[in-house]
Chain A
Amino acid sequence: MPSGNKRRNQLAGDEDGGEGGLDRRRVMQYMAATGVAASIAGCSSGDDSTSTTSGTTTSGTSVSQDEIPSGGTFIYGTTGNTNGLNVFRVGDGETSARAEMVMDLGYVRESPEYSDFLPLWFEDMTVEQPVNQIDIKLRENLQFGEGYGELTAEDYLWCIDNIWTADWANFTYASEFTVGSDEEPIQFEKVDKYTIRETIPNSRPFFPYNEPLSYMFPIPKEIAQPYVEDQNAEGLAQDNAIMRATFNGNLGPWDLKRWSQQSIMEFERGEDYYLREAAANDDRVPEIFTEAPYFDEYHFQYFDKAQTARQALQAGEIDATFIPSTQVGSYENNESDDLQLYENPYRAWSGYLGINHRANGWSQLRNKEVRHALAHIYNNNFVVENIADGRAAAQNTLHPSWGPYAPDDPVTFEGSLETARELLESGTSSDYGYSGDTFVGPDGNQVELTVVYQSGETDDLRAAYLKQRLNQVGIALNQETTSWTSLLSNFFQPGQKASGFSGTIGYGEDNTSGGPYNPGPWDEVVSSNSWDFMLTLGFSYGPLTPAGTIASLFGEQGNFNAYGYTPDRDLGAMRDEAQTAESREAAQSTIQEMLSYLSEERPVIFEYNPFNFYAYRNQVQNIGESPPESYWNMLQDRSSTRMYFSNGSSGR
């Protein structure tokens, strides 16, 4: 049987509407935005004509396929952005979610087993035992549009060599094409027109979960060639064909119909979607896909204010939107609203209070005792119970409590302000201390810190709680709100030399980089805007490969360690140890040791994995069981192609 998986890390916002739906098939994922939607939604104003498809039965439901009506326009209300379909910005999960509307991926994982996946572009995957070689076979009816021809192994190999791993392109996931701390490149070769062989030097039981091709979007080389020759990454990103993915051909369920910046992105049903033919001939592809998708159009409607989106949903003007946990109560048991609530407690997303360890953050935050003080001050149990209204699970490390590697005895903090004061005094340098109830610094003034976040109902409350608690231990807090894009580019991403540093940025003698989000050590490179704490941004990942996730986020040279955290243990080596173990089971103790280490270290203040809630109009069918039985049973994945209106019309 074939085997495979997807791997991406994703820095994502708490109120990330669609991201949860994408988690299912990713062991690690990319970046996404707060309050954004991804794989749900649609709307009307278009043609609500109704037709009935023929076929068999749907996957996961008892509805006969010949009873599935098609038609209508589905509208998903999102607070994300509608900034195009540029597949080179897939480090931003919002863009990824939109790109996946017009282009599928390799496959979708459906259980922890290598062999259990929904084959999309990849017809087959063969994993050699021991695990150091994977053969990927592409389907033969994959076509780019606009006359660019067939998608073949050659296109993948060209993109690997010329874009994905090219220095000038600075692709976020360039590091995914190597394995191990010494960054040994994965070897890719063409076996035949449709088959690619990936080989790594040594056996790794997690390799099928980490292989990168399954979540890459190749583009026609004719489009990219001029930019490759000029090494012009900016030009490539601004190319109209790239921005609008006009080359998508039959590679995805939808085609972009209209894009109005900061307003709406409209997709129309792809007429020759390859998966329809595959579903008819391949038993592994559910038959619901033989006529999918079932909406005529699928819209992402952008809202700046989430409240407006919820009001639009109540008024029946849109079909679904994300519901923050603080608002869920008003949607529960409210039958008059003509709405149904979807709950997903299996969200591989860790929310935390980010800490800036770099030189433009408060220097004392690099001291573990101070971070422990913060863990008392910013008490995760309080947040879960009183801010998330119990609709979340507390986390004390980078792993959900339901995950397979959750440590048995994570370090916990009871939220004692008295202990926090003691830790602050003992943990900071000698020129800090209390003057009465005020915690003062070397200049004799009260210590004043800054938290930055994207304003939203939950994050406003989290920031207010942090401010209140810091005030109670004598520290002042400035609250700074910004947009998701700005949060990433101006605060999170290090992009400037640290004050007083004049050398070459990078790690070690060779000045190697961890990538655009971690170009160098904490004392060499900092973000353009200074900050101390960060909310909104958390980390999304699949639960099966936490070793890679941990090293990526908190390893000194990890590609997402923008925090500048410097662990005193080599997390990269521990990751390698886990990933080169004989089996996943054999890796378990190493992974749990890593998670326990993080729990004790608190490089960030671990908080919770909040449940995702979405409200749908009752007319929307096949949204999946709520709550699902497990992480692998979420039907939100590829929901745009599975859902339909009960009468084939939005009714608007």
Chain B
Amino acid sequence: MKWYIVKRILWTFVAVWIALTFTFALVTASPNQGQMQAMMSCATTGEDPAECREQFREREGLDTPVTERYVNYMVNMATLNWGWSDSRSQMVIPAILSAWKFTAQYAIPVLILSTLIGYGIGLYSAYKPYTVTDYAGSFVAFFGISIPNFWFAIVLIMLFAVNIDALPVYYQSGIPLEYGWLSVRNFLQLVLPITVLLTASLAWQMRYSRAQALEQMNQEFVKVAKAKGASQYRLMIHHVLRMAAVPLSTSFVGSLLAIFWSGSVIIEQIFAIPGLGYMTYTAIVEQDTALILATTLLTVFLAIIGNLLEDIAYVVLDPRIDYGNR
């Protein structure tokens, strides 16, 4: 197992290297906007565009062999020199370092809460299917799946921020700096974004865990455990959940990235949260190549690491799975 993990971590580096190389190839093959602009500028001021192109290539180091540029590119990536973001007017790394905290502060709680509450209600519904509580759970789930995030957010703002004045309308980025990330004031301005995002992700987790648990409830080992007098708690947590969690765990990384790509963009736009989702959205809309590359690479990295963690979780949850000889 340990050797498997070591190999997978090494493979992570290889996969990131492949992604970086592929990216470099794409960027190299694409028309260079800066070079085109430089040529355009010269063409319009009566200078020789070819000469300006050479000056630009020399200034940007594009006149060197492609192998040398590739090495420089990889060194830059490895040393976190990821370039300048036009849409943010700052270097890419500081941009990411600035934005990730704003996303993490609500994305992580949403992930934890949706997992705990979603699986909990899902298991309970599976234990008592087709009862009032199951139907209530199903209602909550379908409500969460069906209701558009942006609309729900606006309604919550009107109700709790404008009419009742209990919560802030928008996210003030100065509050965590002034009062702390874990302060009550920061928590209050995250209540509505978390609620909106939680509604959608919780519903999905709830329905999926209910379906998985129901499938396990009819297995022989559950019947045996029940016949041996296992308590409800032990039956659900130690037997049903453990088996149901194996397929559930495969969706964990996907769910994280889904929150990031879909939910966070909308949430951050509506609540004015300067996080990764909104940053990425703006980068794409404004064709900010350096920032798009960086966020894409981060996603690749997250996906690879996430898959590794999922594979490890398989073994922990189901001892029958063994990577020992791989």
Contacts and interface: CB of A to CB of B under 8 A. Distances in A.
Interface string A164-181: 000110100000000000
B43 A486 contact: no
A429 interface: no
B178 A511 contact: no
Interface in A98-135: none
B322 interface: no
A304 B286 contact: no
Contacts of A61: none
A315 B41 CA distance: 49
Contacts of A301: 170, 172, 272
Contacts of B278: 262, 304
A490 B37 CA distance: 12
Given A84-B89, A261-B274, A486 B45 contact: no
B40 A83 contact: no
Interface SS of chain B: helix, strand, loop or mixed? Answer: helix
Interface in B15-59: 36-37, 40-41, 43-47, 49, 59
A510 interface: yes
A505 B162 CA distance: 55
A263 B173 contact: yes
Nearest to B179: A45
A311 B90 CA distance: 30
A305 B40 contact: no
Contact of A311 (B37, B40, B169, B172): B169
Interface in B163-192: 165, 168-170, 172-175, 178
B286 A485 contact: yes
Nearest to A168: B41
**Which of B37, B170, B278, B285 counts the most chain A CB atoms within 10 A?**
B170
B282 A262 contact: yes
Contacts of B40: 495-496, 505, 519, 525
A490 B162 contact: no
Interface stretch (B139-147, B153-161, B211-219, B247-255): B153-161
Contacts of B286: 483, 485-486, 489
B279 interface: yes
A485 B279 CA distance: 14
Interface in A499-520: 504-506, 510-513, 516, 519-520
A260 interface: yes
A490 B287 contact: yes
Interface residues of B, number: 45
A309 B161 CA distance: 12
Contacts of A264: 172-174
Contacts of A263: 173, 272, 274
Contacts of B46: 506, 510-512
A495 B32 CA distance: 12
Contacts of B246: none
Contacts of B158: 311
A308 B270 contact: yes
A232 B45 CA distance: 16
A264 B176 CA distance: 14
Nearest to A514: B44
B89 A261 contact: yes
Nearest to B42: A167
B95 A519 contact: no
B162 A513 contact: no
B260 interface: no
B262 interface: no
B271 interface: yes
Contact of B36 (A482, A495, A510): A495
Given A261-B98, A485-B286, A520-B44, A504 B161 contact: no
Nearest to A511: B46
A263 B46 CA distance: 42
B295 interface: no
Nearest to B55: A231
A170 B39 CA distance: 13
B287 A317 contact: no
Given A311-B169, A495-B36, A170 B41 contact: yes
Interface in A370-422: none
A518 to B, nearest CB: 9
A260 B270 contact: no
A415 B90 CA distance: 48
Given A84-B89, A262-B88, A317-B169, A505 B44 contact: yes
A410 B287 CA distance: 41
B170 A308 contact: yes
Given A45-B178, A266-B174, A485-B286, A302 B89 contact: no
A168 B59 CA distance: 14
A243 interface: yes
Interface in A36-74: 45
A482 B174 contact: no
B161 A45 contact: no
A315 B172 contact: no
Interface string B53-97: 000000100000000000000000000000010011110000100
Contacts of B89: 83-84, 86, 238, 243, 261
Give the 7 A-B residue pairs with the shortest CB-CB distance, closest first: A513-B44, A263-B274, A519-B44, A263-B173, A304-B269, A312-B169, A505-B43
Interface of A: 45, 83-84, 86, 167-168, 170, 232, 238, 243, 258, 260-264, 266, 301-305, 307-309, 311-312, 314-315, 317, 482-483, 485-486, 489-490, 495-496, 504-506, 510-513, 516, 519-520, 525
